[in-house]
Amino acid sequence: MKCPFCADPNTQVTDTRENEDGDVVRRRRRCVKCDKRFTTYERIDLKMPHIVKRNGNRTEFDHAKLAGSMKLALRKRPVTIEAIDAAVDRIEARLLAMGEQEVPSEKIGELVMKELKKLDKVAYIRFASVYRNFADVDEFAEVIREVQTRPRRGKADKGGADPGHDLFGG
Ligand SMILES: [Zn+2]
């Protein structure tokens, strides 16, 4: 801790005490160089990590957006909105607990699939094969729409594209 008076990096802690809730630590310090006294308050700082997309861009974790994507994935499935919100809460808690400043978007994908597996096996199976191909929540929503609008009929155009072709990037 740098002294605020002379900027010397060497300060001594002369007293340490927590507040009643134990979430703020108050420290009395003395500068070794100029002998001035000052107090610092240290607080636990829990922040959501930034999500790093595959292209290297960083984005904020968006609870509402992820919940919206999961709702799309679970459309017409017997899963309540409350259960989906609780799943997104768990994903958020896991990300916080990692204590990292940045988390790759693939990690979110894994957590989403884990929750989807618990919520609804049918939806899980539907998305398990494609989840590795989405790089962020926006792409997840796109994948969901594509999977849900993909025609079931097996009409094979000669030399035509496989409807899943774009999803698998091949
Ligand atoms: Zn000083």
β 58-59/50-52 pair status: antiparallel
Alpha carbons within 13 angstroms on the beta-carbon side of residue 142 total 9
Range in 31-35, 116-120, 122-126 with the lowest mean pLDDT: 122-126
CA of 170 to the centre of ligand 1 (A): 63
CA of 24 to the centre of ligand 1 (A): 24
Residue ranges of domains in the chain? 11-43, 50-147
What is the residue-averaged pLDDT of the chain? Answer: 80
Residue ranges with strand state E in the chain: 11-18, 24-31, 37-43, 50-52, 58-59, 102-104
CA of 25 to the centre of ligand 1 (A): 21
- pTM reported for the whole predicted model: 0.59
d(CA 5, CA 2): 9
pLDDT tens digits, 80-120: 999 999 999 999 999 998 888 899 888 888 898 899 999 99
Residue 53 is given by DSSP the state: P
CA of 16 to the centre of ligand 1 (A): 19
